[in-house]
Chain A
């Protein structure tokens, strides 16, 4: 068993703008422990008057970057913690964190597949950790990502997903844009539905292990759709996020 979960001070070492409202923050973590893809860290901010705000953010990086982690944070208007990350934090910022946390929504290559990952918006973050881990481990487990975003400019990690897919014929990436599709868009242009799920299941073959992360309505639509297509409910793991997850 690991040491008790303790708060520690991590330092921001780099910041990357992913989309207009999403940034990735890399932290140097003094008491670093390897994580499992899908786990998260808790972040705690303390104001001068002692008021504290705490949120949890999924780890975006693969498990084996020793001594550091990356978190991807979407700026939520009115959010207490995400606005601090986006509007205040710079390289060198020292932030209180604890983790890695969680053992339910996790995947490692040894668990096998085929793997079906379904994401809505920043729900892609823990799934990206799984894809980065899978690529780093050289695992050729048939895998599909179905990723729902509003517009093309809102798609987090678009270029990296393209590179991963180009390098690996066993990885299938499906995008759907629910609000607006650019001219010539070849992906889907609607909310996740049954015929989309039929397509992604066909791409990987075999009964899949499924991870779904996103807003509750997307999680429920995807889960109900998959169960209706005879996917074993015990193989579907979900993580919901909402306004309190900002």
Chain B
């Protein structure tokens, strides 16, 4: 077990329930990055292995960036930070994402 999952299991992640959104709230940003709707696509948490649609992940948007956390173990799955000329994407917490291929 690594340090990050230790911090989740001892409850040290403090989540203000009233502030919690979900992946639906950042669907536009995700589509901008992945060029397809991600909210209906399954994502697998690298920490606990839970498989869930991105729309159901917990979203935190009040920091200078967007964080998506696993709804089961609470660990960070996706981090997105945008500057005027670039998008920084950290997917360490995601074991896999499904991206549909264009049908055309």
A residues bordering B, Cβ < 8 Å? 1, 4-5, 40, 42, 56, 98-99, 101-106, 215-217, 220, 237-245
Contact = CB atoms under 8 A, between A and B. Distances in A.
A238 B19 CA distance: 15
Interface of B: 17-25, 27-28, 31-32, 35-37, 39-40, 53-56, 61-62, 100, 102-104
Given A5-B28, A56-B27, A245 B18 contact: no
B23 A104 contact: yes
B77 to A, nearest CB: 15
A98 B61 CA distance: 19
Contacts of B100: 1
Which of the listed residues A103, A105, A106 has the most CB atoms from chain B within 10 Å of its own CB? A103
A238 B56 contact: yes
B24 A239 contact: yes
B36 A99 contact: no
A129 to B, nearest CB: 14
A218 B22 CA distance: 14
Nearest to A50: B84
Nearest to B23: A104
A1 B18 contact: no
Contacts of A245: 21, 25
8 contacts: A1-B100, A102-B37, A103-B55, A105-B24, A220-B17, A238-B56, A240-B25, A243-B19
A129 B104 CA distance: 29
8 shortest interchain CB distances as A-B pairs:
A104-B55, A103-B40, A104-B39, A103-B37, A42-B28, A102-B27, A1-B102, A101-B27
Contact of B27 (A4, A40, A216, A217): A40
Contacts of B35: 4
Contacts of A237: 55-56
Nearest to A213: B24
Contact of B17 (A1, A4, A56, A217): A217
A242 B37 contact: no
A241 B102 contact: no
A98 B40 CA distance: 19
A244 B58 CA distance: 13
A216 B18 contact: yes
A40 B40 CA distance: 14
A35 to B, nearest CB: 12
A103 B36 CA distance: 10
Nearest to B54: A104
B18 A217 contact: yes
B27 A244 contact: no
Contacts of B31: 5, 101
A242 to B, nearest CB: 5
A241 B21 contact: yes
Contacts of B28: 5, 40, 42, 56, 98-99, 101
Contacts of B104: 1
Given A1-B104, A5-B28, A56-B27, A102 B22 contact: no
Given A56-B28, A101-B27, A103-B37, A242 B19 contact: yes
A99 B22 CA distance: 18
